[in-house]
Amino acid sequence: MRDLPCWIAVTIAGSEMGVWMSGSKLIHWSAVLGTAVMAIASWSASGSPVRAEDVIRFGAPLPLTGPLAPEGIKQQQGYDLWAEQANKAGGISVGGKKYKVEIVYADYQSSTPRAVQTTEQMITQDNINFLFGAFGSGAAKAASTVSEKYKVPTIAAAASSSQVYDQGYKYLFGTFTPNDTLTTPLTQIIKSKAPDVKKVAILARNDLFPLAIAQEMEKSAKANGLEVVYFEKYAIGTLDHSAALSQIKSLDPQWIFITGYINDLLLARKQMVDQELKAQVVTMIAGPAYQDFIESAGESAENVTSASWWHPAERYDGKDIFGSTENFVKLFHDKYKSDPDYGQASAAVCGALFQMAIERAGSLDRDKVRDELAKLDVVTFWGPVKFGPNGQINSLEPPVFQIQGSKPVVLFPLAIKQGELKLGVN
């Protein structure tokens, strides 16, 4: 237990089947089987036991096993880095007293119903003070009904769909801008740089965020005079995209747009190569921003376009605990020996925003902290942060990028642009 970096509560029950790809190999793995196991211990993020009255407890329900585990682990890294930095600085200052950060983790095994159950358990049994939202728009929306019921301020690190924030909730905030902030600039770049692109094929994971962003892509394409010749959904947990890809190939689109998460997209890209399915533009969201995708896809990642909410090339002088973007990237690299992606950075900034709101409130009172979150208008290493009336951030300009030379190269916005769009048959 002394190797654990923070307070951890993990429930493992039943089995979950996921897919991971390394190079051209498809690897199947499953979560641990057995009866429910709860490992509970009280630890600070620095690994030292602390008294209950000296800590602020943050609940973090995550998919640490199952198909979404790669994304869940990334968020955990971001939360841990923030907790480590906060505790190194002596903790969070509340009314002249310093409180250590304690993070309560629970594995909901990539299951949205379990995410809801886990969130309720954290609030009613684990005595957390504040919450980080579950991963993805679908799970975040479902779990937010619980946190809203108990009036627990919650920041979602990975939820962009407008359907998450149209519920009229007061206690839910999110660090991802709406989906159209990704698809609109991407479409405008393709229209400008690739005038021969006339037909678009869209394949979407039937899940809240991937489907919502595919629908935004459809709107953006039509608004820019492109023909959407194919739009289909695939089920969560799909292990074979070959039929859909074969149909897309028969339509000969110049632009193929696929949504999902890392495992979905790696599988789709591999099967595109197997079928020799090529297009002038291949876009995948979300996954190519992750180094895991680039390394696992290998040569097939080259020239894939995508968009995300943050990139290490950003240059902000933040007022948060991390300060500049460069400093955050350095701290992350020192700890994990790799550069951070938007998922890890978003998790870290969620912690930093909670810290600022708590210190400004000078209290652990949930309503006072909630009010300070709603009033935030501050520059962070993540960028300018201001939440709209619905709780969703409305102050960012997300980057569009393309994998070139095994690295993401920013194409937009101009302030951090690193290169030009490369066209070719992918």
pLDDT exceeds cutoff 70 at 105 = yes
- Give the least confident one: 11-20, 59-68, 232-241: 11-20
Same structural domain for residues 118 and 22? Answer: yes
pLDDT exceeds cutoff 60 at 88 = yes
Same structural domain for residues 290 and 375? Answer: no
- What is the pLDDT, as a whole number, of residue 14? 28
- What is the pLDDT, as a whole number, of residue 425? 73
Q: How many domains does the chain have?
A: 2
Mean pLDDT, rounded, of the chain: 88
Same structural domain for residues 38 and 187? Answer: no
Same structural domain for residues 63 and 210? Answer: no
In a domain? residue 393: no
In a domain? residue 119: yes
- CA–CA distance, 138 with 92 (Å, rounded to integer): 31
Same structural domain for residues 204 and 223? Answer: yes
In a domain? residue 299: yes
Q: Assess contact for 410 and 401: CB atoms under 8 A.
A: yes
pLDDT exceeds cutoff 80 at 29 = no
- What is the pLDDT, as a whole number, of residue 30? 33
Same structural domain for residues 254 and 185? Answer: yes
| Residue 278: φ, ψ to 5° | -130, 155
pLDDT exceeds cutoff 90 at 291 = no
- What is the pLDDT, as a whole number, of residue 140? 97
- CA–CA distance, 7 with 105 (Å, rounded to integer): 7
- What is the pLDDT, as a whole number, of residue 214? 97
Q: Assess contact for 411 and 401: CB atoms under 8 A.
A: yes
Same structural domain for residues 229 and 352? Answer: no
Q: Which is more confident, 50 or 290?
A: 290
pLDDT exceeds cutoff 90 at 137 = yes
CATH number for 235: 3.40.50.2300
Same structural domain for residues 250 and 325? Answer: no
Read off the pLDDT of residues 350-376 as tens digits, 9 standing for 90 and up.
Answer: 999 999 999 999 999 999 999 999 999
- What is the pLDDT, as a whole number, of residue 13? 27
Read off the pLDDT of residues 244-267 as tens digits, 9 standing for 90 and up.
Answer: 999 999 999 999 999 999 999 999
In a domain? residue 3: no
In a domain? residue 5: no
Same structural domain for residues 162 and 31? Answer: yes
pLDDT band, very low/low/confident/very high, at 377 (cuts 50, 70, 90): very high
Same structural domain for residues 50 and 21? Answer: yes
In a domain? residue 115: yes
In a domain? residue 188: yes
Read off the pLDDT of residues 212-226 as tens digits, 9 standing for 90 and up.
Answer: 999 999 999 999 999
Range of the domain at 334: 17-177+313-386
- What is the pLDDT, as a whole number, of residue 53? 58
Read off the pLDDT of residues 37-79 as tens digits, 9 standing for 90 and up.
Answer: 333 333 334 333 444 459 999 999 999 999 999 999 999 999 9
292, 243, 299: which is closest to 271 by C-alpha? 243
Q: Please state the separation of Cα 208 from the chain's center in Å.
A: 13
In a domain? residue 118: yes
Same structural domain for residues 23 and 155? Answer: yes
Tokens linked to 184: 């609109």
Same structural domain for residues 194 and 127? Answer: no
- CA–CA distance, 314 with 325 (Å, rounded to integer): 7
- CA–CA distance, 253 with 145 (Å, rounded to integer): 41
Tokens linked to 15: 């089995």
Q: What is the mean pLDDT of residues 16-33?
A: 33
2, 3, 72, 79: which is closest to 31 by C-alpha? 72
